[in-house]
Each structure stands twice: as C-alpha cells, then as structure tokens.
Amino acid sequence: MANPWYRVLHRFCNGLYFSRISVLWPERLPRTGPTIYLGLHRNGAVDGFIYHAILPRANFMISTQLRRNLIGRLFFTGIEVARDRDEGEPGTNLEALNQCMELLRMGGELVIFPEGTSTLGPRHLPFKSGAVRILANYLESGSPIQVVPLGITYECPWAFRSRVEVVVGAPVATDLSDALHPLGRLKELKRSIQSALESVGVNVESEQYQQMIHRLACVATLGTKRSYFKTLKALEQSIPEKILLDWRALRPEIEKRKLWHHQGVPLFPAGPAWRYLLALGATGPLVGLGALLNLPPLLGAWWAGKKFPDGPNVISLWRVLVGAPLFLLWVAVMAMVAIVSGRWPWFGLYALTTFSGLKLYYRVKKLAVAVHNGLRYPELRPQVLAFRETVLRETFREPAPLTPSLSPSEGERVPEGRVRGWFMVPRRGWKTMGTLHDD
C-alpha cells in the first residue's frame, strides 16, 4: 500500500473505534525481504485496518466487491481478486496472481486471508488453496521467502472502544524435501499453513463453549496485564474443574439478582464502592458531555450498525464506514462555526472534551456497571471476588487434556439455539458469571 492515504485513514479509524490494539510476539515480524502474511479473518474488513497498522509496507489481497463504489475505493486498496461469489471480470484472478508474484520478486510484503471471508464462529473457516498455490509458485524460483501467520482476537468484536490483540505466529517452514512430487509439496505446504494458522487462533467445539471461555477470559484479564488471547488459548481444550465447581455454587445467587453486565460479565468493585462512585462522578460527566457534543456521528454509526450488517462480523465495519466520515464532517462543521463566530476557545474545549471522552469511555462503562452492582448487591461481592480469584489461579495453570468431565455435567441439558453466555442458561433468563472491576 504505497498510497499513504490508506495508512493514515486506517490508523485514524483504529484509534477512533478501538481503545487499545496490542501485538503479541512482534519480534517475529520480518524487517526486510519478501514476505507472505497469512491472516485469520474474524471481523470483516476491519481486520485489514488493524493488520495494516502493524504492517505499513504490506499489500493486501482484497475482494473486488470492496471497491465497487466510491466509499469502498475511499477505504480500501490492494490486489483485487474475485472470489467464487464475487462478480469478477474474466482474467481478474490471473492478473492478481501476476501482481502478487511481481510484488514478492521485488521484496514486498503480501497479506492473504486464506479463509476468503470472515467469521466470528467457534472455528476458522476452511482454508482456500490460493495462498498455497501462490507460495508454491514463488518457491519454484528457488528464492527464499518468509511466511508468517497472523491471528486477531477481539474482546468484543462489535463493541465501540473495545480492545484487540494481534498474534504474530512462528514462521512457516518452506524448505520441503526435493523428493516430493508437485502435488505432495502442495499438500505438505497446506498442512504446515493450517497448523500455523490454528496456533494463532482459538478453535473450539461449539458456539456455547466459545462464549463460555470468552466470559472467563474477561474475568481473568480485567484489571490485569494478562493477554486475552493467551487466556483463551489456555482454555481452548478444557476448563479447570475447580472453576466449574465454584461457578455452580455461585450461579444460583447471581440468577436471583438483576445485575448489570460488561461483555456478559457483572462487575463488582475491587475496593470500597464509594471510591468507584467518586471516580464515576469525576469521569462520567466528561464522557456524557463528549457524547452529547458528538451526537450526530454517534447516532449515524449506531444506525448503520443496525441497518446494514448481514451478520455480527460486519457490524463494526459498517459503524466505521459511516461513523468515521460523519465524525470528520462534524469536526469540520464545529471548526467552521468557531471560525465564523470567532470563538476558538470553544472549539478547543470541544476537541479536549471529545478526546477525553474517547479515552475514558471504556473505563466509565466498566465503572458504571461495577458501581451499580456494588451498591445494589453488596452482599454478593465477597463470593464474586472469591470466584474471580479462582479463575485467576486456575486459568494459568498448565492446561489439562480434554476430558468429558469438563463438558456440562451428566444430566445437564445444553439448550439449543443462540446462547449468549456460558453455563448454559437459556437466553430469556440468562445471567452470566460475575467478577470484579479493577481497572
């Protein structure tokens, strides 16, 4: 992506929509030389914005559908390829292959999404053969190349000001035996790539189990420096029995109460509730004022997230595509009003309030939940804190092998349909696990 416009725009969108983007094992990123990055695809084209932030030299293979209108061309660029479901011109993919080969021969970086599309499901989608064929074609030249898998984990993919972790995996071995025939080389490369991509993602047996470990990861990482991805990975195969036992004791108490939740978890204060109330009183009005001053772009982004997505994996994308331009337009309007009226100090106050509101929103959201629960149900706090300590202690032990005992116990029926939280509570009467707020 030689055009600096896209890098600046993507960094702006990332900073506006997400509160923090972290990179795990950044030392694995090559500094020079031809490189193919293989990225897991979770959250629509927003994944590309985030990958681009850490790979400023990279060119992306993108669907032709992304650039069919003005908004698409404004936000996206790359080597266009027609997927099976896309409307592509004959020869589009052959031309794309030639562009990829030329880019790599010149020592460039290429980002490919082997799944072809995104999903927030419990497992990755089947990997297409395109990435393997591009790699195999390049290896025929005898030139060295680096192949690096990338994963991406969202605390809550569609939530405004959520947090993201990009996972840089170990390089894929490309030194294959000369004794292998061409088809055998393709199969070996495909196995290596699949194994590498599964190491940087979290793949579980069902949507219920996926939601279960996300709740636990939220509990384990709130107020700590622990990695959300590493916590999920530790729970990928099994959940410690101690956590399940403690939850079964706590669950009836949680179900009796109308608790507020953050990412499906009812938070409680780690210390005296009055301290959290003071913090909320000091920061909440600033966030509220910032939201009020930017109500038009916020409402526009909210409306787009309701109107256009055909699945949860593109909610954030539509909010960004509509909300980011509206926000820039709104800032320009506010600046023009300041120029015409001669009240520059008011524009400075607006800018400061907006910036502070963005920075504090995620914290205030958690504070509000913790204060409500702590003041309304103080008797539940000790049990919840004890459960959280169990989660902290048990999630970073050496993972045990998957055993049937870690599934819902015998006799417990798993409800069918959509389950929003762990512990298999039907949605209508659903209450999720509790933890404290300590951030």
Angle at 369 between CA 289 and CA 288, to 5 degrees: 5
| Partners of residue 24 on adjacent β-strands | 167
Cα 81 to Cα 94: distance, rounded to the nearest angstrom: 9
Q: Residues 203, 123: contact at Cβ < 8 Å?
A: yes
62-71, 200-209, 253-262, 390-399: the lowest-pLDDT one = 390-399
**What element of type H or E holds 296?**
helix 295-307
C-alpha dist (Å) from residue 304 to 13, 45, 68, 314, 320: 16, 15, 19, 11, 9
Residue 401 has pLDDT above 70, yes or no: no
Please, which pLDDT band fits residue 82 given cuts at 50, 70 and 90? confident
Domain locations in the chain as residue ranges: 4-199, 207-408+420-429
Per DSSP, 38 falls in state: E
Cα 26 to Cα 1: distance, rounded to the nearest angstrom: 20
Q: Residues 263, 270: contact at Cβ < 8 Å?
A: no
Please, which pLDDT band fits residue 5 given cuts at 50, 70 and 90? very high
Segment 160-199, tens digit of pLDDT: 999 999 999 999 999 877 777 778 888 999 999 999 999 9
Structure tokens at 193: 């790539």
Cα 54 to Cα 56: distance, rounded to the nearest angstrom: 6
Segment 17-44, tens digit of pLDDT: 999 999 999 999 999 999 999 999 999 9
Cα 324 to Cα 17: distance, rounded to the nearest angstrom: 9
Burial of 325 (0-12, 13-18, 19+ CB in 10 A): middle
**What is the predicted pLDDT for the residue at 164?**
98
Tell me what percent of the chain is helix, strand and coil, each rounded to the nearest 5. Answer: 55, 10, 35
| Partners of residue 150 on adjacent β-strands | 39, 168
Instruction: Give the DSSP letter string of 212-276.
Output: HHHHHHHHHHTTS---HHHHHHHTSS---HHHHHHHHHHHHHHHTS----BTTB---BSS-HHHH
45-59, 107-121, 262-276, 407-421: the lowest-pLDDT one = 407-421
Q: Which fold has domain 4-199?
A: Glycerol-3-phosphate (1)-acyltransferase (3.40.1130)
C-alpha dist (Å) from residue 169 to 49, 59, 96, 224: 19, 19, 26, 23
**What is the predicted pLDDT for the residue at 261?**
93
Structure tokens at 186: 């393709």
Q: Residues 25, 166: contact at Cβ < 8 Å?
A: no
What is the overall mean pLDDT for the chain? 88
Please, which pLDDT band fits residue 408 given cuts at 50, 70 and 90? very low
**What is the predicted pLDDT for the residue at 87?**
62
Residues in the chain, how many? 439
- The radius of gyration of the chain's CA atoms, rounded to the nearest angstrom, is 24
Instruction: Count CA atoms within 13 Å of residue 260 on its CB side.
Output: 19
In this prediction, residues 106-132 reach a mean pLDDT of 95
**What is the predicted pLDDT for the residue at 384?**
94
Strands 79-81 and 58-63 come out as parallel
Q: Residues 159, 41: contact at Cβ < 8 Å?
A: no
| Partners of residue 168 on adjacent β-strands | 150
Please, which pLDDT band fits residue 219 given cuts at 50, 70 and 90? very high
Cα 268 to Cα 388: distance, rounded to the nearest angstrom: 10
